[in-house]
Chains A and B, each alone.
Chain A
Amino acid sequence: MVVTDQDLINFVVALKGSSNYDLSEYSDKSLKRRLQKVLADFNVDMAGLISSVKNYPVFAENIVKEITVNTTELFRDPPVWHMLRSRILPRFKNNSTINIWHAGCSTGQEVYSMMILLNELGMLDKAKIFASDINTDVLETAKKGVYKYRFNIGYLDNFDKVIKQNPLNYEEFNDVPYEKYFDIDKVKDVITMKKNLSEKPIFRKHDLVQDGNLFFAKFDLILCRNVIIYFNYSLQNKVFELFHSNLYTKGVLLLGMHETILGPWAAKFEKLGQAYIKK
């Protein structure tokens, strides 16, 4: 089923009418593909989808959940975590508190990765962790901190690479047991984060498009990885502005592997790898 530009506009308008979601500045191509997928999954045509969205707010909410993409891993892209470990987090070593916002935290793996890393650096106690996502389902998963084991066996590799090994010194090996942070139940096929980790973060539903700063705090570190790729240029800049205005000076914004700030907000940040440091 092909979704035309007009279909897309109709859908966005309909969704805006029946819910708070404004997808008008989402990336067209991506949104079209997601809509195609939704149409196939629900076995409806565009007109049916739009009328359902108009008539049933709950359905609209679910459609947004279907459309949003929730990919994340424990210690995704280990080089980024190496950089966090060696270059970014040490900047806050002497802070009395560290405020961290995971914008678009998805199912929370990144949040737990951050807490594990902070704990290894001895900084977890002074860290305040905030995490948000537009999709309440994934937030629930994130709060529980329970993940499939077999399918996500790569988590352990990532853990080893980030926590146990040091790419700058191959002889270094920190034998941190997995059980320190999570329990692996191979029979049930789950990885369960320790309670002391899963209870720490504040999880909130948040729409980057219009919710502003939900946490009434400024941040030392904002992680927003692989989120803005679904936004168009204009929305990206709005989001950068939001982040910029809610970062402390010298605060760090961390984007995904292939995300960069271009345009007017580039000048307000200093780039350090994937990290942008507010000037």
Chain B
Amino acid sequence: MKFLHKISLRLRVHVTVVMLLLLMLISSVIAVYHLSKKRIMENAQKQMEVFLENISQIIALNTNGTLDYTAYNAIKPVFNRPAFYTSDYPFLVDYSGNLLIHLYKEGQKYPPELLNQMISNPDKAGFFDTREYRNNRSETCRIYYRKTDGLKAYIGISVCKSEVTKGLTTTTLMLLALFLACVLIAILLTSIVLSPVLRAVKSISKSLTRMERGEIPPAIPYGNDDEIGRIVRPLNAVIEGIDRVTIFANEIGNNKLDNSFTPLGPNDKLGITLLNLKNYLKDKLAEEEKRKVEDERRIWVNTGLAKFSDILRQNNADLQLLSDSIVQNLVNYLDANQGGLFLLNDDKNDEPHLELVSSFAFNRKKAKKKTILIGEGLVGNCVVEKHSVYLKEIPEDYIEITSGLGDSPPRSLLIVPLKLEDNVFGVVEIASFHEFLPHHIEFVEKIGESIASTLSAVKNSIRTNELLDQSQQQREAMLAQEEEMRQNMEEMQATQEEMARKTLEMEGVTSAINESLLYGELDEHGIFIAVNTNLQNSLGYSKQEFDGKTLFEYIHPNDLPIIQSVWGEIKTGVPFKGTIQWRARQQENIFILCNITPSFDEYGNLYKAFLLGQDITQSKLLELKAQQQAEKIEQNLLEIQFEQEQLQQREEEMKSLLMALDTTCLVAEVTPDGRITFINNKNVETLGDSKEQIEGKFHHEIDFQARTQPEKYKAFWNDILNGIPKQREFSLNVKGRTIWISEFYTPIRDSGGAVVKIIIIGFDITQSKEVEQRLAQRIEELMKMLNR
């Protein structure tokens, strides 16, 4: 019976139904069969009784108590045909058991046991069952009998039972068919009626199976409010609940903790637990968040500190670079907008102050100056207070942030002192459009310490370097200075030597002047301060007579106007030189070649004028004469030159003129290559060399300058060869006497312009030259020396 547990509900229902029907069928079949059989038998008995009665009557009618032939014939046909069925032929048997009439057994004896039953029956009619062979088969047959009324015999009829119940089988078969139809209909009906239920059950089963595996099945669609419905609805609710819880749990898993969740019921343990878990996680998350922010801030601060420790380590040789880097990075790191770094300057002895050493987008309106005194303004105060200042409301016009978008005031301002162990090294000022958070401020303060310490170190190192540099420089400078000092010494020494030499020279010059020249010193008004004996003697006055007297009082009236006018020039620094006629005691005309030279102090004021002179009264006369002569010669020369020009065209005339000149002038002719071709008699007469000695020689062989100054001579000669007439003076000794000659070199050109000949014409100017040159040069030189 185990398999019964396994078969499906549907099968079970069907089996039950079929069994039930089968049971009904069997019972009904049995009932119907027996009832029908009984009734058929009863009907057959009645029919047979009626049939037999009919036959008996027939017999009675045809027989008179005996069975004769006629009677037999008469009744015989009735026995030749079956009564109701196929084999139920009637027969007639007498009491003795002879079959009187029988279809095929006439004359035979009827089995006695059967006859006995008939005879033993008191009733006229009856029946009994016996077994007969029919169609080679033993079959149960019922034999109905009746006593005949007219004969002493029994009419009988044997009816085979199977023939009688033959219709009953057909009925049974019909019944079976009916049953089958009923079964089919029953199964169909049950199927139709049961199918939704079964489906629901199947779904439930499926769902539960999936649930068993941990899946969440979809809701079961079942709308009927029956028993199944009452199962499905809670089940669906459970599924939905699980679904919701799952989603919720999922959300928790995905960290979505803000979605609300209602437990399925007040006792929904899972839901409530999840809700608790959610709240717990939410709290945790909030906590985590808080910790994260704190962590981030800490990391930010630490990263910043590390970054700045890097920055501070670099560039720490250059304060400016370092400051720039600090300000820029600080502003960037704080996401601020501008910043400035002030350093405390206490280098000098004057009041310590803050200097803006570096700035970033800085535009201090109020304090454009770069220095701030201690205690001045917010920044200056910060140094005094040694605490950070954080302002969210900034005084108007305090600072502005300059950017491409225009100037706008910052929202917050942070001023932090850079202090190290209570010593403030400077101040950092940062302005921003954002507000500064506490950890920002804390960060800047921490950085401030680092900056302060670095700055202090850098300052020290820079100072040390400076000192080192300075000492190095000083050492080098010392060396350079030593060399310079030595050079200065050398210069001074050389100067001293030069001066000593000069002094020596000057002493000689001074004594020479005193010995040979007239000498006097004049003040700015021309009053004599000093007069030497030569001058006294020349003019014939005593020294006392010069005291307090002016120069002008001793000048001859002829020359007084000249001196008076010249005095003004002398006072402005123009020295005077010239021959002046003086008033002497004895002599009316005394000529002195004078040189009056002013001497000025360093401010250009005249403090003395020196008068130097030479009495040239005698030579003056000669000089005048010589001058007259020179004028004459000059005139002659012009004439000669004029005539020379003519001579170029007319050689004949020139020759005759030369002849004329021959008597007064020294004449020589020289070829362009310098060979002397002709000298005249005057030349021989004056210079003492004979024609034979000179002619044929080269000019440079005998020329004094050619020997002593060949360069100059060459230039001189080249000029002549280039057609430039030259003039020169020279002196030479002739028989122990110095003779001065003025020579005119005249190049003679041919028609083509080439120099073919040079004519030299000389004049003896010995007399005038001697007088003029000697005196003039001496006086001049001495004047100069006196002036030192």
- A contacts, CB < 8 Å to B: 27, 29-30, 33-34, 37, 69-71, 79, 82-83, 86-87, 148, 150-151, 167-168, 189, 226, 228-230, 233, 256-262, 264, 266-267, 270-273
- Chain B: minimal CB distance from A187 (Å): 8
**Given A151-B481, A260-B502, A262-B505, A229 and B494 touching (CB < 8 A)?**
yes
Nearest-neighbor residue (CB-CB) of B787 within chain A: A271
A148 and B477 contacting across the interface, CB-CB below 8 Å: yes
A71 and B602 contacting across the interface, CB-CB below 8 Å: no
A273 and B602 contacting across the interface, CB-CB below 8 Å: yes
Residues of A within 8 A of B575 (CB): 270
Partner of A71 from B491, B787, B788 at Cβ < 8 Å: B491
Partner of B781 from A37, A69, A266 at Cβ < 8 Å: A266
- Chain A: minimal CB distance from B471 (Å): 13
Residues of A within 8 A of B777 (CB): 267
B487 and A271 contacting across the interface, CB-CB below 8 Å: no
Residues of B within 8 A of A83 (CB): 602, 604
When each residue 68-110 of chain B gets 1 if its CB lies under 8 Å from chain A and 0 otherwise, what string results? 0000000000000000000000000000000000000000000
Nearest-neighbor residue (CB-CB) of A258 within chain B: B495
Residues of B within 8 A of A30 (CB): 490, 493-494, 497
Partner of B491 from A37, A69, A272 at Cβ < 8 Å: A69
For the complex, give the distance between the alpha carbons of A29 and B501 in Å.
12
When each residue 477-519 of chain B gets 1 if its CB lies under 8 Å from chain A and 0 otherwise, what string results? 1001100101110110111011101100100000000000000
A262 and B486 contacting across the interface, CB-CB below 8 Å: no
Instruction: Determine whether B128 belongs to the interface, using a CB cutoff of 8 Å to chain A.
Output: no
For the complex, give the distance between the alpha carbons of A51 and B600 in Å.
52
Partner of A258 from B490, B499, B573, B600 at Cβ < 8 Å: B499
Residues of A within 8 A of B484 (CB): 71, 151
Write 13 A-B pairs (CB below 8 A) sorted by A numbering.
A27-B494, A27-B497, A29-B494, A70-B487, A151-B480, A229-B491, A229-B495, A229-B498, A259-B498, A260-B502, A260-B788, A262-B788, A264-B781
For the complex, give the distance between the alpha carbons of A272 and B784 in Å.
12
For the complex, give the distance between the alpha carbons of A130 and B53 in Å.
196
B498 and A262 contacting across the interface, CB-CB below 8 Å: no
For the complex, give the distance between the alpha carbons of A270 and B784 in Å.
9
For the complex, give the distance between the alpha carbons of A228 and B501 in Å.
13
Residues of A within 8 A of B781 (CB): 264, 266-267
Nearest-neighbor residue (CB-CB) of B788 within chain A: A260
Extra A-B contacts (6), CB below 8 Å, given A30-B494, A34-B490, A148-B480: A30-B490, A151-B484, A168-B604, A229-B497, A267-B780, A273-B600
Residues of B within 8 A of A270 (CB): 575
Residues of A within 8 A of B501 (CB): 233
- Chain B: minimal CB distance from A142 (Å): 15
Nearest-neighbor residue (CB-CB) of B777 within chain A: A267
Interface residues of B in 765-785 (CB under 8 A from A): 777, 780-781, 784-785
A33 and B502 contacting across the interface, CB-CB below 8 Å: no
For the complex, give the distance between the alpha carbons of A86 and B491 in Å.
28
Residues of A within 8 A of B602 (CB): 79, 82-83, 273
- Chain B: minimal CB distance from A250 (Å): 12
Nearest-neighbor residue (CB-CB) of B776 within chain A: A267
Interface residues of B in 449-489 (CB under 8 A from A): 473, 477, 480-481, 484, 486-488
